[in-house]
Amino acid sequence: MDPDWLPFHPHPSKPAFKVPPGAVDAHCHVFGPEAQFPFAPERKYTPCDASKDQLFVLRDHLGFSRNVVVQATCHGTDNRALVDALVHSQGRARGVASVGRDVTDVELRAMHAAGVRGVRFNFVKRLVDFTPREVLAEIAGRIAPLGWHVVVYFEAQDLPELWDFFTSLPTDVVVDHMGRPDVAKPVDGPEFGLFMKLLREHPNVWSKVSCPERLSKSGPPSYDDVVPFAKRIVEAFPDRVLWGTDWPHPNLKGHMPDDGKLVDYLPRIAVTPELQRKLLVDNPMRLYWPEEN
């Protein structure tokens, strides 16, 4: 583990907000355990272990029913820890993998059988080396027939350059953490306006409204400065939003959130029971468990 690595909160509080029945934590990770699932040689950070069993304990503690486990960059394109979590979840976890162009159709089908329903393309420069767009387009073309979608992670200032690539993808496109807006800038300003335009003009684009703890400059426990951004998206696109804890919170500096308090942030961005049900149940179920709809 990196010397300045902040481990996840050891005893998260019980949230005051009761999530609706069947709620899905649609963005979380597993790390290792390293002794069983070594981290990738090309990784940019070495985290603490954060196992599937610890994730499932947190799920139950917070009142969630299911997880969507997203491949983190510290595991590169080795999805074994992710797949292990899915197959031991009793059908209560689905996943988003990272694959290279060398992935075989047999491997893709095996991941599908385990519960993988998407691939993640990461454009955050501190996390990954550059992959040519044509390689990513090729991967997207291969996973589209499986009914999978593409999850993209990028920072707001890079959206203009990424726009043409994102809008050319043949699948649903799920954006992590609202495209990481700079929340010191106005919610009505051009930078966030461009992200809203992406959602408005492209009905296949979804947004996770997660990670106030990552985006906030005003800080915990209320993350006030992030609320207007997330609330704006939830109210404008109630059928294309997802939320997740982001446990175990990779690369946070300064503070580690109490996951119970993160759940208590939810009714501030989804202010009615209907919006809460769409965000936490209907939307993730439609995307990850469509056969149950």
Q: Per rule CB under 6 A, is residue 259 in the interface with ligand 0GY?
A: no
> Taking a C-beta distance cutoff of 8 angstroms, is the pair 215, 251 a contact?
no
Element (H or E) spanning 154, and its range?
none
> Applying CB under 6 A, does 246 fall inside the site for ligand 0GY?
yes
- Nearest CA to 53 out of 70, 72, 31 is that of 31
Interaction of residue 176 with ligand 0GY, rule CB under 6 A: yes
Would you count residue 245 as binding ligand 0GY (CB under 6 A)? no
Considering the complex, what minimum distance in angstroms separates the CB of residue 111 from ligand 0GY?
17
- Residue 142 or 214 having the CB closest to ligand 0GY: 214
Interface region with ligand 0GY, contact rule CB under 6 A, candidates 9-17, 54-62, 69-77, 155-163: 69-77
* Helix 80-87 × helix 52-62 angle, to 10°: 50
Q: In one letter, which amino acid is 1?
A: M
Contact pattern from residue 130 through residue 169 relative to ligand 0GY, giving x for each residue in contact according to CB under 6 A and a dash for the rest: -----------------------x----------------
149, 243, 163, 157: which is closest to 199 by C-alpha? 163
- Interface residue with ligand 0GY among 68, 69, 72, 174 (CB under 6 A) is 72
Q: How far apart are CA 28 and CA 244, in angstroms?
A: 6
3-state DSSP assignment of residue 92: coil
Compare residues 15 and 47 and give the one whose CB is closer to ligand 0GY.
47
95, 250, 260, 284: which one binds ligand 0GY (CB under 6 A): 250
Nearest partner of 79 among 145, 138, 29, 142, judged by Cα: 29
Q: Which helix (H) or strand (E) holds 141?
A: helix 133-143
Q: Give dist(CA 139, CA 150) in Å, integer.
A: 10
Looking at the Cβ atoms of 269 and 277, the one nearer to ligand 0GY is: 269
Catalytic residue annotation: 246
Site residues (vs ligand 0GY, CB under 6 A): 29, 72-74, 127, 153, 176, 214, 246, 250-251
